[in-house]
Chains A and B, each alone.
Chain A
Amino acid sequence: MTQMSTLDRLSRPASESAIEVRRLVKTFRTARRSPGVRGALRALIAPELESKTAVDDVSFSVATGELLALLGPNGAGKSTTIKVLTGILTPTSGQATVAGVVPYRERERNARNIGAVFGQRTQLWWDLPARESFRILRDIYGVAPGDYKARMREFDELLELCSFWDTRVRHLSLGQRVRCDLAAALLHDPPVVVLDEPTIGMDVVAKEQVRELLRHQVERRGRTVLLTTHDMTEVERLAERVVLINHGRIVLDGTLTEMRERFGRGWRVHVTLTGPDERPCPPGLTVLERDGARLVLGPTGGADAVPTHQALKRIIERYEVMDIRVEESDLEDVMRAAYRDARQESPA
Chain B
Amino acid sequence: MRGFLPAWALALRVVGLTFRAQLEYRGEFWMRVALGLAWQTSIIVFATVLLGRFPGMGGWSSDAVLMIAAVRMLGHAFYEVFFGRVGELAVLVQEGRFDAFLLRPLPVYRQVQLSAFPSNALGDLLVGGSLFAWAVWSIELEWAPWQIAYIVAALVGGMLVEAAVFTALSSLHLHFPSAITWSYWTEELMTTFGNYPLKILPGVISGAFTFVVPLAFVAYFPVAVLTGNTAGLGVPVAVAAAAPLIGLAAFAGSRVLWNWSLTRYTGVNG
Contact = CB atoms under 8 A, between A and B. Distances in A.
B104 interface: yes
Contact of A90 (B14, B181, B182, B264): B264
A89 B181 contact: no
A123 B181 CA distance: 27
A123 B103 contact: yes
A128 interface: yes
A44 interface: yes
Contact of A140 (B10, B96, B175): B10
Given A83-B267, A121-B96, A128-B17, A140 B179 contact: no
A111 B103 contact: yes
Nearest to B185: A37
Contacts of A136: 10, 13-14, 17
B185 A112 contact: no
B90 to A, nearest CB: 10
Contacts of B97: 121, 126
A39 interface: yes
A89 B267 contact: yes
B10 A44 contact: no
Interface size class of chain A, counting residues whose CB lies under 8 Å from the partner chain: 35 or more
A302 interface: no
B13 A140 contact: no
A64 interface: no
Interface string B9-48: 0100110011001100000000000000000000000000
A237 interface: no
A33 B181 CA distance: 14
Main secondary structure of the interface of A (DSSP, over half): mixed
Interface string B130-160: 0000000000000000000000000000000
Nearest to A123: B100
Interface in B160-191: 172, 175-176, 178-179, 181-182, 185
A120 B21 contact: no
Given A132-B17, A139-B13, A121 B181 contact: no
A122 B116 CA distance: 16
B52 interface: no
Interface string A119-149: 0111101111000100011011110000000
B99 A121 contact: yes
A111 B14 CA distance: 19
A211 interface: no
Nearest to A142: B1
B202 interface: no
B150 to A, nearest CB: 37
A88 interface: yes
Nearest to B111: A140
A40 B178 contact: yes
Contacts of A127: 18, 21-22, 116
Interface size class of chain B, counting residues whose CB lies under 8 Å from the partner chain: 20 to 34
Nearest to A170: B21
A243 B96 CA distance: 27
B105 interface: yes
A118 B267 CA distance: 13
A35 B13 CA distance: 39
A40 B97 CA distance: 22
A346 to B, nearest CB: 21
A33 B177 CA distance: 11
A108 B267 contact: no
A37 B189 CA distance: 14
Contacts of B10: 136, 139-140
Contact of A168 (B21, B178, B182, B266): B21
B99 A118 contact: yes
B200 interface: no
A105 to B, nearest CB: 10
B270 A79 contact: yes
Nearest to A33: B178
A95 B265 CA distance: 17
A116 interface: yes
A87 interface: yes
A37 B13 CA distance: 38
A86 interface: yes
A31 interface: yes
Contacts of B265: 88-90
Interface string B253-270: 000000000011111001
B268 to A, nearest CB: 9
A336 interface: no
Interface in A63-89: 79, 83, 86-89
B50 interface: no
14 contacts: A37-B182, A39-B178, A40-B178, A40-B179, A88-B99, A88-B102, A90-B265, A116-B103, A121-B96, A127-B116, A128-B21, A140-B10, A140-B106, A142-B1
Given A31-B176, A140-B106, 5 more contacts: A28-B266, A44-B179, A108-B107, A116-B103, A127-B18
The 5 closest A-B pairs by CB, nearest first: A123-B100, A127-B21, A111-B105, A121-B96, A40-B178
